[in-house]
Amino acid sequence: MHYFKNITIVDKTKYIFVTGGVTSSLGKGIIAASLGKLLQARGFRVTNQKLDPYINVDPGTLNPYEHGECYVTVDGHEADLDLGHYERFLNVETHKANNVTTGRIYQNVINKERRGDFLGKTVQIIPHITDEIKRNIKSLGSKGEYDFVITEIGGTVGDIESLPYIESVRQLRWELGKNCLIVHLTYVPYLAAAKELKTKPTQHSVKALQEQGVQPDILVLRTEHNISMEMRKKVALFCNVEPHAVMQSIDVPSIYRVPLNMMAEKLDEVVLAKMGFDSATTPVADMEKWTAFVEKLENAKDEVRIALVGKYVQLPDSYKSIIESLIHASAYNNRKLKLDLILSDKLNDENIEKRLGKVDGILIAPGFGTRGMEGKFSALRFARERNIPCLGICMGMQTMSIEFARNVLGFKDANSTEIDPTTPNNIVDIMDEQKNVLDLGGSMRLGAFECSLTPGSKAAAIYGETTIRERHRHRYEFNNAYKEQFEAAGMTCSGVNEESHLVEIIELNSHKWYIGVQFHPEYRSTVVNPHPLFISFIQAAIQ
Ligand code: GLN
């Protein structure tokens, strides 16, 4: 596989593993994505993968409070939110194969056992589960599409749940030799009373990894204070790692700084050297566009104030991709995002002015079920009547249609069949076309679908295209029986799926910026390509 003409020849896919120790939430996903970005910026083809140690077959059924947002790939996989970081950092689409859970590994092995594939053998964690894990890791590299596969192992070293993954890494290290490398992320706590950074937890977590037969090549120490050379040498000595392979990842105000900091720590350089690349002939990383974005983000002085109205706001990770999309679009417009997270359950027509009176724009979030619906109607009516820019996403668009039917078309009992199955005015319903699909066992409309935009509409102007592809995750749809009445009253259905006739975008003609989308544009916004809908929404908000 010749990637760089006359410069670098990557003949075999290289596998890099990112493990974590001491505690969870250290930002393994960000370190893995940053390393991916730096290698990609040198011209290599990179993909990031996440192995999750939980038993759920995929994160689709997890409550957002448990695990944050469910990210959706183009091929309709409901995935861990780390895949969102990978796409935002690398600007490359991920797929089902980029996220594997223990549940799926076991399901595959048990299916094979039922089919008789193991020919009467006793099915065991080693080798059957570990073989399945290795197959899932190597399948990403097997088609020759990538020079580097970076696999993040979820959980913390020492957990019972991650043992089979670490064992698989041990085996792969042995099989792949120099084409395999292990980066271990740990935490160096600062004891305020002693005014000291402590490396003992790092030493212990490396020991735990070594006990499982895995020697890390590179240690990344997450810290709140700079770690001295002396301390790095001490860690190196205790952990069998070279001093220049002990790096720090210091706390930063924005995750988008991390790749630049890791470049300064020479993470990519050390990785390449350890994997046998010649530094004299390996291209340097081109981080120009990335740096320009980070500078815009950090230098923006004027604020744009956006209210995100949803039912899971106590855990902002539930809206990870939406928040990141707003950050991208604000930075693009040289604004600093001031985000008000508003719990929709607490909103009503009486307190709405107090809660939303000062914001520049309102975003009505996706969601499932009845809780918090009525508050969304209050927020929507306020945005509609006060000409405040408003973006409704998925259930946000559905509530937009119901509010319009109730308060403009005069259908007092308008609702969604998801909320009230007996409603006579089911503005939001499961469409007949969908019913057939759903009856066949699919439970949601998932993944990327095409949408045609009405020429002359706001949506068409924003996208600058007539056909777009956006990702979906929902069961209910705008009920086409009401389309004519909506359009006659000034709510245009400006985006439609030609094949199914499903309405994907609605927009209020007489309003400054009032757009609802049935899909999730947030899954497609990246650092180098902020999403046009978010850019336009922020532009309207600052006008
Ligand atoms: N509850 C809605 C549906 O299933 C919307 C889902 C969502 O917002 N992702 O159609």
**pLDDT attached to residue 420:** 86
CA of 475 to the centre of ligand 1 (A): 6
How many H helices and E strands in the chain? 19, 23
- Residue 538 and residue 542: Cα distance in Å, rounded? 6
Lookup: tokens for 108: 């595959």
Neighbours of 267 (CB within 10 A): 24
pLDDT score for 419: 85
**What's the gap in Å between 312 CA and the centre of ligand 1?**
14
Ligand 1 pocket: which of 395, 420, 522, 523 to mutate (most atoms within 8 A of CB): 395
| pLDDT computed for residue 440 by the predictor | 52
* Amino acid in position 498: E
DSSP output for 434-499:
HHHHHHTT--SEEEEEEEEEPTTSHHHHHHTSSEEEEEEEES-EE-GGGHHHHHHTTEEEEEE-TT
pLDDT of amino acid 370:
86
Residue 342 burial class via C-beta count within 10 angstroms: exposed 0-12, middle 13-18, buried 19 and up: buried
Residue of 435, 455, 453 whose CA lies nearest to 445:
435
Cα 393 to averaged position of ligand 1 atoms, centre (Å): 9
What does pTM read for this prediction? 0.93
Closest residue CA from atom 10 of ligand 1: 476
Ligand 1 neighbours by CB, cut-off 6 Å: 366-368, 394-395, 398, 418, 473-476
Ligand 1: which of 398, 402, 502 to mutate, most ligand atoms within 8 Å of CB? Answer: 398
Pocket probe mutation, ligand 1, options 321, 344, 370, 394, max atoms within 8 Å of Cβ: 394
Q: Are 245 and 232 in contact (CB under 8 A)?
A: no
The predicted structure's pLDDT at residue 6: 44
Catalytic residue among 394, 403, 477, 493, which?
394
219-238 pLDDT, tens digit each:
999 999 999 999 999 999 99
Residue 433: active-site member: no
Alpha-carbon distance of 16 to 178, in angstroms, equals: 10
Could you confirm whether 394 is annotated as catalytic?
Answer: yes
pLDDT at position 238 is 95
pLDDT value of position 369: 85
**Which residue's alpha carbon is at the smallest distance from atom 6 of ligand 1?**
474
Strands 361-364 and 390-393: parallel
Residue 47 token pair: 């993909």
Spans of the chain below 70 pLDDT? 1-9, 432-442
pLDDT recorded at residue 1: 40
Confirm whether 418 is a catalytic residue.
no
- Beta-bridged to residue 150, according to DSSP, are 16, 48
Q: pLDDT tens, 4-26?
A: 544 455 778 999 999 999 888 89
Distance CA 396, CA 390 (A): 10
Q: Are strands 514-517 and 503-508 parallel, antiparallel or unpaired?
A: antiparallel
